[in-house]
Structure 1
Amino acid sequence: MSGEWGFTTSRPTDARYGDDVAKYAMSSGDQGLKTFVREVLQNSNDARLYNDDPAQVTFRLETLEGDDLREYLEALDISTWSDHANLACETESGEHLAESMERIQDEGKLRVLTIEDQNTQGLLGAETADQSNFTALVRDVLFSSKSGDTSGGSYGLGKAVLWLFSGLSMVVFNSTLSEPDPRDNSPRLIGRTRLPTHKSEDGDTVYQGHGWFGDVEDLPEEEGGARPESLWGEGANEIADRLRLSRPDSPGTSIQVVDFRVPTAEERLNEDELASRITELAIEWFWPAIHRGNLKVTVETEDDTQEASLNEYPNFSPFTSSLNERPNAVDELDDSGDVIEEPISLEVPAKSDESGQTDGELNLVVRRAHSNERYKRNHVAFVRGSGMVVEYYDRDKVVVGNEHFHGVLLGGRARPWGTGDDPTEEDMIVEEFLTAAEPPQHNEWKRTETLANTYSRGFRTAVESIKPDVTDTLRSLVAPNVDRGSTGPERLGNRFRIGNEARNGAATRESPSSRRVSGETDISFDETYDHWVFSGEVEPINEGYEIREVTVTLARMAEERATNDRLPVASISSDTAGVSISLPEENGIQIGRLDPSPGTSSITFEGSSEQDLRRVETRLKVSVNVAKRGDD
């Protein structure tokens, strides 16, 4: 049995769908190798079988040329694919595809990345099942069937990056199933390409751009054209051998990214450079899972094999030591290497169906750093049950003197790690809440659409209280005896330019205390999109006052002092009802402005800057105009 490509057809009115997918791929191409490694490993880690063995993931980089390349392309039925790819190249969205095809032809080489996991579930589920591993990874776009309490997320972005990192938008899967669902004759092989929507040469047929490589059944065009299905058993084995995609005798999935490239790289990295970077990223973002023995990662090239070993990357030992030394926690951080921990409350609100409310806890574990431990010093790793670091929260500014530290914030099923205790029912509820609080990139805990659609009032306060509570707790643990003077809302109020200021800058004669506001703000750099993201909530301290206007500017810093250099605000939004949003220019730089309806006593907002390739430290400056209620 030989595999072939089949492409779905559509009526002309449906033709935009394929172009929209291609545009999404192009606009999302700046996610970088970090996102690719995080998402791929997260998928394998989530699919681990419930036993004592780790999920084993191998990244295998190969460059094919000569006879090896010719035989590979023949097995891939490249001629059928090329007929459609050439038509797709003529569309607006097909430029990157044409460039990749031209490069491969000129160089006579093709780089292939195979990601092979073992001791995982495999691609379970029928070809057209509503929810299954198979449909989530192979057929659906940006949706996920993950239902485990520790799964990495619910958006399925991981599978989208597979095609984004293929210059030909082509990915092939070969899977050994852990159970006979839907069949017991593994392996199961299928490929998918995502091309822009295109028309046949005669213009009579519109192809959606979605093509599948497998056992193709021809159907009339009114029934959708060719119906591609998986190859099974010996037929799959034969094709897998020719595609260099054969599997070991262990449940799991092998994913092959054809013409692997990093969209953001200015130059194509060689295989040794790619292997080293993949290994480093695996350690950086999955050291909790690796440390606990739940995940093993290796990277192979033709010349070398690297293992993501914590022994080979001692930079992360301060974090693993924090977990190891939890049973020996002390009351104060007197000496280097001392570990202290403190609970942080998290009040999870009820869901829309009134279930799931709990007074939960996170655990902040802090270790005082040795003088030579500088990597990610004064950062807190946010971790839950999936075993992936969601975010490294930079808290360098809370350090007083030389009391440097490394911290781990453990939530959900991860909260009792290192204590010997099992997760509680409350931990399970927190795990579900934190999972819903992760955006598609799974790179922070914040207000998301999933939270908004699942939980009732109070979810935003709960999730946005985590970072301020971590900061306050760190201050008490790292330097408990330092007098910091005024803190909290009063200190925040003093930072703001607040008052019933006229447009020409003339302030009213009201007392300063009547014009103060309270609230919290946060700004951090998003490495996925190379921009700053910010959020805040403000309200007058005096209940007799209301907010008239809020403006947000982004000031670049120089040696802890703000400069006159401003970074444009690219977007800003608010969940507060009745707030009008605008992005006017001030001195030629775009800022954010929120104009509330009369009587508004508090405003929440969030937004982002334009792309900042310089990555200069930037401060969020919030100006709030308040006035007595009822004043004109």
Structure 2
Amino acid sequence: MQESGADESELAHLLGAPRALIEAWLDGRSVPSPDHLVKVREVLGVEDETGRGSAVGPEQQVDPAETPAVWYHRPGHDDGGREFGNAAAFAFEADLEVLAREATQNSLDERDRRSDRPVNVRYTLHELSGDALARFRTAIHWDDLHPHYEAAAAQDQKVGRVISAGLREMFERDRLVLLRVDDYNANGLTGDDYEDGRFAAVVRRQLESRKSDVAAGGSYGLGKATLWATSRLGLVLMNSTLSEPHEGHTQRRLIGRLDLPWREVDGRRFAGPAWLGRPDAESGNAEVVRSWWADEETVENLHLTRESDDPGTSFLIVGAHDVASLADSGQDQEGDVGDDEDSLERMHERLVRALGRNFWAAMTAGGDRRPLLEASVRTLRNGVEYLEEEQVDPQVHQPARSRALQAFLSGTTVDRLTEAGQVALATVPLKVPERDDLTGTAGEHRAVLLVTEATDADGRINQVTAMRGNRMTVKTSWVPGLPVGTNPFQAVLLVGRAAGDDAPFAAEAEEFLRSSEPPEHNKWGQTEELRMRYSPSAHRRIATLTSETNRAVHSLVAIPKEKKQSGTSKMSKRLKISHKPTRAVRGTVAPPKLDELNAVIDPSGAWQITAEVKVPHGGEPWRMSPVAKLEVRSGPRPVVKWAELVAVSNCELSDGVLLFPPGPGTRRAVFRGVTDVSTHPVRAALTGLVVELQESKGDVA
């Protein structure tokens, strides 16, 4: 090289090999293969004195397992085509909640079903700085990557701006956030490096989903792209323990994949992706790399050490960021990264919330049924625990819904709710259509509907949460048309295999609903796949399922007519709604108006009311104060205070004032109240009750 005046970059270019491989030869970390030596002699014009085409004897042959890992960057297309990013990554926002949903769904789908143990998923946030960051950059061969990152960051397009922000975060703030997603008791990345299998589907290919189980959550092959979308540097490293051997090995199968836009580096054009691996001597292209079976030291340096020998995969997202977290702190994901000391706390909290909201059902056990999933989140700084590992508990995040599912799994449901804590069960029909554009019905599936009383920790009340076999929440919808006075509830709809192994036509229902889900798997409705695999009108079966579900909910939560009429007849004469005019009418828009009032006297002597309000269409939001007065035989009506006010639906409560936003389709709102007995001058049993809705004296919203 010295005699010919060639440097490492020029020789790498002439050989069509990574520069890192040339540097490894010069540093004595590896020895060129015979084929490489022949090419070296050719490009440098050196004679082969042995006449054998190689100066390496049999005793000098190098074990491929000892060849160091290097980066292979896919060459640019000969036809001039250019991709400025992975289109699959743009299907989702770089949001930690989306990542948690998609990555955990994939782990759940890959649960090793040879046992009934749950798949264990652990999220680890790890912030590196100083020497720890420098050592990690060395481990990923940063010197080889840096010119590619600089070329990508110089491009004025979305991916380039994100990468530029990631580089500033690392070099100006001396900070890099790693996010590792580990799953245990899963299948791992099995199969060949290039041929069909789990490994090739995740590492080599786009838009391929190798999930044959109809109960699987994924079906588009897009979910894995969220891993790379969450990385500001487009880099994900993988360490997999296989459930079945490959090449005689099961542990520490390593590979790295980098997704960058088209770029030009040192006069060469590169298409986009790159892989970290060992050169594949059997490949037709000497530059191509494949996965390798790493030693424990390499795995540790890459922060990929797994906690046990259970099969599964560890995905390390390098330069993790969260769009929602950045938005909360006023930062721009494509612009400058400001000082944000709380970002780790927020990212940790958002991961926990997302797991609890989307996978509470998969983490719920009952009877002899074990949970399908266990999940936790922990946070480190330079290898030291910063936030303690937090196990996600479904009873904490979704207490009422978890109680409902647990009762179903344990077989302790009832036909109708008569006591607190009970779970009522009903079945709802789903007529599964025939396949291949036929208009008939393959069979009637009976979905399971569970209803129980809501708790304060459940969030929005009077909702139906629907799911199928993998028990990931697909959609949550409000039940319309509930009568005033309905006790708050939560409902769970189990469809397909989630309804039980013996549910009729469960597999057919799974396949039908899976075809009706978009890539986000967050609703059931018309999709192109549903139209092609069934018929253009097949989505109407889903609309019918929704209406039947709502009807069944009404029957389970409605107050029996005779009881309601009896209570109303006794109390109605003592209740009055005052339509005292408010201070102003905005143009032609009248203020919200009390329309219906139900009330009872509780054992403490307080009035408990449920009020329904007519909300005007259009205009600005109204701020209204409900006022309670006692109806006495003579004299002015005494005003009593509220001990409790609750906004139930289509309104909000702030400092004792109700806000009624005139949203599209909003016509009625409901609130509840309990009077303060200490402000009653006369016992409630001796009075009537008048409720007025007055415009707030504060500024109009």
- TM-score, normalised relative to structure 2: 0.64
Q: 1:91 to 1:149 in 2, by over 3 A?
A: same
Shift of 1:454: 1.7
> Which secondary structure state, in structure 1, belongs to the residue aligned with residue 93 of structure 2?
helix
Q: Partners of 1:5 and 1:399 in 2: how far apart?
A: 65
**Cα contact 1:379–1:396 (8 A) shared by 2:** no
CA gap 1:560/1:125 in 2 versus in 1, 3 angstroms? farther
Deviations for 1:380-401, whole angstroms, at most 9, x for unmatched residues? 1111111211122222652531
Deviation of the 1:69 alpha carbon: 1.0
Contact 2:94–2:321, Cα closer than 8 Å, also in 1: no
TM-superposition CA deviations, 1:182-225 (whole Å, max 9, x none): 652532100111101112342xx4311101111134899xx777
Residue matched to 1:358: 443
- Sort the Cα spacing of 1:240 and 1:68 in 2 relative to 1 into closer, same or farther, 3 A: same
Residue equivalent to 1:612: none
Contact preservation (8 Å) 1:8, 1:224: no
Counterpart selection for 1:453 from 505, 529, 532: 532
Q: CA deviation at 1:169?
A: 0.6
469, 481, 488: which one pairs with 2:548?
469
Letter in 1 for 2:378: E
DSSP 3-state at the match of 1:169: strand
Name 1:369's counterpart in structure 2.
454
Q: Match of 1:552? A: none
Counterparts in 2 of 1:189 and 1:374: CA distance versus 1, 3 Å: closer
Pick 1 or 2: higher relative contact order, CA cutoff 8 A, min separation 6: 1
> How many angstroms does 1:8 deviate by?
0.7
> Which residue number in structure 1 is paired with residue 100 of structure 2?
37
| Contact 2:462–2:490, Cα closer than 8 Å, also in 1 | yes
1:285 equivalent among 358, 376, 379:
358
Q: Which amino acid aligns with 1:304?
A: L
On the 8 A contact 2:180/2:316 being kept in 1, the answer is yes
| Partner amino acid, structure 1, of 2:364 | H
Q: CA deviation at 1:136?
A: 2.2
Change (3 A) 1:620 1:155: farther
Q: Any conservation in 2 of the 1:15–1:207 contact (CA below 8 Å)? A: no
For residues 482 and 155 of structure 1, do their structure 2 counterparts lie closer, same or farther at Cα, with a shift above 3 Å needed?
A: farther
Q: Deviations over 1:509-555 (max 9, x none)?
A: xxxxxxxxxxxxxxxxxxxxxxxxxxxxxxxxxxxxxxxxxxxxxxx
Aligned mate of 2:206, from 130, 141, 162: 141
Secondary structure at the aligned position of 2:75 is classed as strand
Per-residue deviation, 1:345? 1.1
* SS in structure 2 of the partner of residue 209 of structure 1: strand
Q: Which moved more, 1:210-219 or 1:342-351?
A: 210-219
Any conservation in 1 of the 2:94–2:322 contact (CA below 8 Å)? no
Deviation, structure 1 residue 476: 2.4
Structure 2 residue 469 is matched with structure 1 residue 404: no
Matches within 5 A, 1:50-199: 50=113, 51-93=115-157, 94-130=160-196, 132-181=197-246, 183-199=248-264
TM-score (normalised: structure 1): 0.71
Map of 1:563 onto structure 2: 618
Say yes or no: does 1:444 pair with 2:444.
no
Alignment of 1:427 with 2:506, yes or no, is yes
What's 2:399 paired with?
317
Pairwise CA distance, 1:463? 2.1
Asked if 1:226 corresponds to 2:287, the answer is: yes
Change (3 A) 1:88 1:303: closer
Q: Aligned residue for 2:304?
A: 245
> Is the Cα–Cα contact under 8 Å of residues 164 and 263 in structure 1 kept in the other structure?
no
Q: CA deviation at 1:127?
A: 1.3
Query: Which residue identity lines up with residue 299 of structure 1 in the other structure?
Result: V
SS of residue in 1 equivalent to 2:219? coil
After superposition, give the CA deviation of every residue in 1:440-484 in whole Å (9 maximum; x if it has no partner): 111111112221222235421112323222222222222164699
Do 1:398 and 1:471's aligned partners in 2 also have CA atoms closer than 8 Å?
A: no
Please identify the structure whose Cα radius of gyration is greater: 2
Residues 224-247 of structure 1 show CA distances to partners (whole Å, capped at 9, x for unaligned) of 77312101253xx44212111112
Change in CA separation of 1:390 and 1:199 when aligned onto 2, cut-off 3 Å = same
Letter in 1 for 2:93: D
Q: Distance in 2 between matches of 1:353 and 1:480?
A: 43
Q: Per-residue displacement from partner, 1:112-144 (whole Å, max 9, x unpaired)? A: 1111111100001111123x2212222222331
TM-aligned CA deviation for residue 105 of structure 1: 0.4
Deviation at 1:365?
A: 1.0
CA distance in 2 between counterparts of 1:40 and 1:373 reads 26
| 1:62-87 C-alpha deviation (Å, 9 max, x unpaired) | 11112211111111011111121111
CA shift, 1:309, in A, is 3.8
Equivalent residue pairs, number: 483
The 2-side partners of 1:71 and 1:49 are apart by 35
The offset of 1:42, in angstroms, is 0.6
Q: Secondary structure at the match of 2:361?
A: helix
Who is 1:47 aligned against? 110
What is the one-letter code of the residue matched to 1:445? W
Would the aligned equivalents of 2:260 and 2:273 in 1 still touch at CA under 8 Å? yes
Report if the CA contact (8 A) 1:8-1:225 is conserved: no
Residues 509-548 of structure 1: matches in 2 within 5 Å?
none
Structure 1 partner of 2:664: 619
**Aligned residue type for 1:283:** G
Decide whether aligned partners of structure 1 residues 373 and 279 sit closer, same or farther in structure 2, where only a CA change above 3 A counts. closer
Look up the equivalent residue of 2:170 and give its one-letter code. I
Instruction: State how far apart, in whole Å, the 2-side matches of 1:308 and 1:561 are.
Output: 46
C-alpha spacing 1:14/1:482, structure 2 compared with 1 (3 Å): farther
1:206 matched to 2:279: no
Alignment RMSD: 2.9
| Residues 616, 279 of structure 1: alpha-carbon distance in 2 compared, 3 angstrom cutoff | farther
Shift of 1:29: 5.8
C-alpha contact (below 8 Å) 1:49/1:120 kept by paired residues: yes
Kept after mapping to 1: 8 A contact 2:454/2:488: yes
Task: Output the CA distance in 2 between the equivalents of 1:383 and 1:340.
Answer: 18
Is the 8 Å Cα contact of residues 97 and 354 (structure 2) preserved in structure 1? yes
Distance 2:526 2:80 in 1: 33
Q: Partners of 1:240 and 1:291 in 2: how far apart?
A: 34
Q: Distance in 2 between matches of 1:272 and 1:79?
A: 32
Q: Which runs of 5+ in 2 are unaligned?
A: 1-65, 330-339, 366-370, 380-384, 565-612, 622-659, 667-701
Residue pairs, 1:375-390, within 5 angstroms = 375-390=459-474
In structure 1, list runs of 5 or more residues that go unmatched.
417-421, 485-557, 567-614, 622-632
Indicate how the Cα distance of structure 1 residues 368 and 103 shifts in structure 2: closer, same or farther if over 3 A, else same. closer
